[in-house]
Structure 1
């Protein structure tokens, strides 16, 4: 009895995008034409880059438990076919070749709804170009972060109750949403000895976020004392 894995993934957008819905329709359908049994591996919106292009602590396709299990299953010869929309759905960098090697060892064939270039040189060039583009994006992002740090700017997503100023450089109290006042209330309640559960019940802020606010209490209190917020 033959067996296939139908692999679904897209890099950006939302889980209900038309392109992902099209994958969910066409990829399993092709797998069912090829094999008697089909396992669907649906990553939804998920990066296609691996440790080849990302740091060890970033979200990576090779760190996904379902992908690691797939890699092992391919090596063990559990699948006759691995089916995807195209080769880039499997991976967008050199991790593709790790999947390919595992498939060769397990005598598994790759099948795609949209076939990749038949010319191997063209295929390899496209893979190299995608990796190079990602590398350049990482370098630009790191350079921008380094520049912000040298200027003493804040970076990253602002914590609860804070937002970027008009210049996009510093975190300042978010006055319009009222969240800054809530953050101050979280700090007051905690310093009064209230439990995280009580704080969550009274402020509507979940316990994890409340702890993060309290860990940054010096920053919140400094902003409050600066007179920026009345």
Structure 2
């Protein structure tokens, strides 16, 4: 395909919904998506979100992680509107967004004469394409409702929910956070609290315990819970 400008530009967009940053599919995207972009354009900007949700405010609440709230995506959208790119390249359409936000990106691209190119092309039939996206969004919407209902039930029972903090794990019933006795993290958390109570700086605490400052602050913010679990363990 011939470039449409003397110096053409492409945005290579990379994202995966779940997993870890060293995931095989992410590595494949990081190899193939920029490679396709380089075939199409003279200059390539890589926009790598790593592991990040593909849903926007259309499907998520305003205080949740959302693709439309990501600064890199906001910058991309503005760049598309300003006509800075000739091509927007991704593995497939769902990497750009999994809900209606996709159409916002596409509209910005179309109005600025930017072509969308994919490593794996969506169905050529527009109706099939729209049906697939609608079904995917509906399935996710149902999952969100079920998840919210389960979370509400846990809160009504007084259960803990979410990922356990540093040094804690779920009990056998999966309802309450308890000290993780199979690792030394709980003891380390208590040491973080002790050091902070003696006036040590976050930097010193990080150096002595190996716990980064952000995690250390989180531990200290939950110090009542850690100390309560420690006391319960001693009584038991």
Is TM more than 0.5 here? yes
1:104, CA displacement in angstroms?
1.6
Q: Please say if residues 90 and 96 of structure 1, whose CA atoms lie closer than 8 Å, have aligned partners that are also in contact.
A: yes
The residue number in structure 1 matching 2:38 is 32
The residue number in structure 1 matching 2:109 is 103
1:30, CA displacement in angstroms?
2.6
Secondary structure in 2 matching 1:117: coil
Structure 2 unmatched runs, 5+: 1-5
- 1:192 aligned onto 2:198: yes
The residue number in structure 2 matching 1:215 is 221
Distance 1:39 1:201, change over 3 A: closer
Secondary structure in 2 matching 1:4: strand
Secondary structure in 2 matching 1:226: helix
Tell me how far apart the structure 1 counterparts of residues 54 and 36 of structure 2 sit (CA, whole Å): 22
Tell me how far apart the structure 1 counterparts of residues 213 and 115 of structure 2 sit (CA, whole Å): 48
TM superposition score normalised by structure 2: 0.86
Instruction: Select between 92-101 and 220-229 the one with higher mean Cα deviation.
Output: 220-229
**Residues paired across the two proteins, number:** 230
Q: Please say if residues 54 and 60 of structure 1, whose CA atoms lie closer than 8 Å, have aligned partners that are also in contact.
A: yes
1:97, CA displacement in angstroms?
0.4
Tell me how far apart the structure 2 counterparts of residues 68 and 9 of structure 1 sit (CA, whole Å): 15
Structure 1 unmatched runs, 5+: none
The residue number in structure 2 matching 1:41 is 47
1:153, CA displacement in angstroms?
0.8
Tell me how far apart the structure 2 counterparts of residues 6 and 196 of structure 1 sit (CA, whole Å): 39
1:228, CA displacement in angstroms?
5.0
1:148, CA displacement in angstroms?
0.6
Question: What root-mean-square deviation, in Å, do the aligned CA atoms of Structure 1 and Structure 2 show?
Answer: 2.2
